[in-house]
Amino acid sequence: MAKIVILGAGISGHVAATHLRRKLSKKHEVVVVSPNSNYQWVPSNIWVGIGRMKSEKIYFPLAPLYKKKGIGYKQAKAISFHPEGDSTEAKPYVLSEYVVGDEKGKQEKITYDYLINSTGPKLNFEATEGLIPGKNKAYSVCTYTHADHAWEGLKAVIEQMKAGKKAKILIGTGHAKSTCQGAAFEYILNVEQELRKHNVRDMAEVTWISNEYQLGDFGMDGMLMSYGSLTMKSHEMIEMIFEDRDIKWILGAGVNKIEDGVAHYENLEGEHKSESYDFAMLIPSFSGHGFKAYDKNDNDITEKLFKGFMLVDADYTSKPYEEWSVRDWPETYQNPSYKNIFAPGIAFAPPHAISKPRKSKNGTDISPAPPRTGMPSGITAKLVADNIIDTIKNGKESSHHKGSLGNMGAACIASAGFGFWKGSGVSITTFPIVPDFKKYPDSHGRHLGKTFGAIGLAGHWLKLMLHYAFIYKAKMRPFWWLIPE
Amino acid sequence: MKRISPRMRFRMMNPVLQFFKFIILSIKIMVIVAGGHGGTRKVN
Ligand SMILES: Cc1cc2nc3c(=O)[nH]c(=O)nc-3n(C[C@H](O)[C@H](O)[C@H](O)COP(=O)(O)OP(=O)(O)OC[C@H]3O[C@@H](n4cnc5c(N)ncnc54)[C@H](O)[C@@H]3O)c2cc1C
């Protein structure tokens, strides 16, 4: 009998837990440890942030589902990792602290045979002075509570515009090393469409601010893609959309300080500038959670497990952009020092960025960190679960299931405006996610047939369908496993 | 600046045309997602 502990119940943690439970007999224990009592379908936060979807539609409580399906659940947060146990506990464990109820503040050593760390990112607002969701007129849509808050802020500004006051709206990245440009991109297009719906578009100046060198970089070094019968660069496509919608842009901007209605930033030229606004939504930088790890003698072994995020089977040798290779990227998400620990989704430490790193003339790093979107988060979680299942069933270590971001496709269906008949979406697929310049030397490292873009109403329908399909799947309704990650 | 022509916009927003686009996109995405994934280090 084996005990598998999963830290986090986001996209990757929940996918791992549900697959393990489905495929392993009940004599094996599957336990989820997560501080948030709800599962949330993060991509739909965009619609919560424009008031088009109630936050209750994107989350549901985990405890009843886990109880029904035989998955153990502890509403707690992991604090430290003890992969060899300690002087009083022979088994490896994670020290966790309960966050609610009578047990709040109580710590427990949660032992495991296999550990899946799927704690995602820490939303590192502190890295940008003054960037606090809901303060200084700056908001976030990274969680459903943030998105609810953002909609309140936006609604107030729309009311002011209706009363005749002009407004400046600033959306993008809130740190020189932020990632998740795709989410900000969706939000700016949705906000722009809402302004038109409310007949206040002419009262607003809408500006995109980002650490990208070019529009459409998305932390993926841009894309060369098929667009209808054309082959287009992603920056040309995004420029077309922004110009058509009268959205201005500021690129190569490392936002470093937020004051009430003012964003200060440094650009690649090394200039220090500022941009005023009445409403801003800025994605913070993501970091690891700052977990510590100890061996059985209580010595600090954090560097064996973490480099910010968790160390896995990647090649972390430092090398220049020109020498980066798809082979640097992990395949099994297994920690090299402790083979029973895994980190799928955003929790693993990437070997390096995907976009070309750039510095300002003052030496400040200003370029996107690598994104890890929902689809790869789900796929990597499932393959980790499958390797654990095979290992348990075969009685010997199996790492047969592999999925490098350099040999995996992803679809990003970016909402460009809500509405069943008036909505729109920018559908972009890439294969592979990390460009493989050796395999596809003439198409910027990607397969052109599988890397394409499309704009239109169908994109909105697709995004809406994915919303319902993935919530259905997450609720483990009949035949949920037939829906791919 | 109008970068999307009225004809292109019509095609992007016409529900009938977009219904077919929806089917095609769904299939294309399924092919990419279900098309599998793997490692990069093993030399065949
Ligand atoms: C606004 C927005 C829109 C997005 N839109 C899209 C999209 O359209 N398509 C797409 O593919 N991707 C999208 N993404 C990205 C996608 O949401 C992420 O890739 C995905 O959520 C990552 O999943 P994860 O499980 O690794 O991390 P998370 O979803 O962040 O989950 C982390 C989990 O760990 C838990 N946790 C945190 N700390 C601890 C601790 N100490 N102990 C235990 N548990 C802990 C958290 O409570 C949470 O349950 C979007 C992201 C954002 C922010």
What is the number of the ligand 1 atom nearest to the C-alpha of A412? Answer: 9
Residue B44: per-residue pLDDT:
44
CB of A105 closer than 8 Å to CB of A331: no
pLDDT for res B43: 52
Strands A3-7 and A247-250: unpaired
The confidence score (pLDDT) of residue B3 equals 86
Tokens of A455: 């704009």
Do the Cβ atoms of A298 and A311 come closer than 8 Å?
Answer: no
Instruction: Report which ligand 1 atom has the smallest distance to the Cα of A374.
Output: 11
Return all residues near A195 (Cβ < 8 A) that are at least 6 apart: A158, A161, A169, A201, A203, A204, A206
Question: Residue A245 is which amino acid?
Answer: R
Minimum CA distance residue for ligand 1 atom 37: A119
Q: Do A327 and B1 touch (CB under 8 A)?
A: no
Contacts of B30 in chain A (CB under 8 A): 484
A-B CB pairs within 8 A amount to: 94
**Chain B touched by A198 (CB under 8 Å):** no
User: Least CB-CB distance to A458: which of B18, B33, B40?
Assistant: B18
Q: Tell me A142's DSSP state.
A: S
Bridge partners of A262, per DSSP, are: A259, A276
Beta bridge partners of A38: A61
Contacts 24+ apart (CB under 8 A), A469-477: A470/A41, A470/A374, A471/A41, A471/A58, A471/A60, A474/A14, A474/A18, A474/A39, A474/A41, A474/A60, A475/A60, A475/A65, A476/A18, A476/A65, A476/A69
B10–A contact, CB cutoff 8 A? no
Q: Write down the pLDDT at residue A112.
A: 98
- Partner B contacted by A324 (CB < 8 A): no
Q: How far apart are CA A228 and CA A244, in angstroms?
A: 18
A350 CA to middle of ligand 1, Å?
16
Distances (CA, A) of A52 to A45, A148, A217, A335: 10, 11, 28, 42
Residues in chain B, overall count: 44
Average pLDDT over residues B16-38: 90
User: Per-residue confidence of chain A (485 residues) as pLDDT tens digits?
Assistant: 999 999 999 999 999 999 999 999 999 999 999 999 999 999 999 999 999 999 999 999 999 999 999 999 999 999 999 999 999 999 999 999 999 989 999 999 999 999 999 999 999 999 999 999 999 999 999 999 999 999 999 999 999 999 999 999 999 999 999 999 999 999 999 999 999 999 999 999 999 999 999 999 999 999 999 998 899 999 999 999 999 999 999 999 999 999 999 999 999 999 999 999 999 999 999 999 999 999 999 999 999 999 999 999 999 999 999 999 999 999 999 999 999 999 999 999 999 999 999 999 999 999 999 998 999 999 999 999 999 999 999 999 999 999 999 999 999 899 999 999 999 999 999 999 999 999 999 999 999 989 999 999 999 999 999 999 999 999 999 999 999 98
Among the partner residues B1, B15, B39, nearest to A457 by beta-carbon distance = B15
CA angle A379, A381, A384 (to 5 degrees): 110
Q: How far is B10 from chain A (nearest CA, A)?
A: 10
Ligand 1 neighbourhood includes A190 CB (under 6 angstroms): no
> A374 in ligand 1 pocket by Cβ < 6 Å?
yes
CB A6, CB A32: distance < 8 Å = yes
Query: Cβ–Cβ of B18/A402 closer than 8 Å?
Result: no
Q: How many Å lie between the alpha carbon of B1 and the closest alpha carbon of chain A?
A: 5
Cβ distance of B39 and A427 shorter than 8 Å = no
B19 in contact with chain A, both atoms CB, cutoff 8 A: yes
Local structure of A383: helix, strand or coil: helix
> Which residues in chain B have their CB less than 8 angstroms from residue A454's CB?
21, 25
Q: Name the minimum distance, in Å, from the CA of A189 to any CA of chain B.
A: 15
What pLDDT was estimated at residue B41? 85
pLDDT band at B33 (very low <50, low <70, confident <90, very high): confident
Counting Cα atoms < 13 Å in the Cβ hemisphere of A441 gives: 1
A21-44 in b/e burial notation, b at 16+ Cβ within 10 A? bebbeeebbbbbbbbbeebbbbbb
Q: Is A456 within 8 Å of B35 when comparing Cβ atoms?
A: no
DSSP B3-38: -S-HHHHHHHH-HHHHHHHHHHHHHHHHHHHHT---
Partner-chain residue, chosen from B13, B26, B38, that has the shortest CB–CB distance to A456:
B13
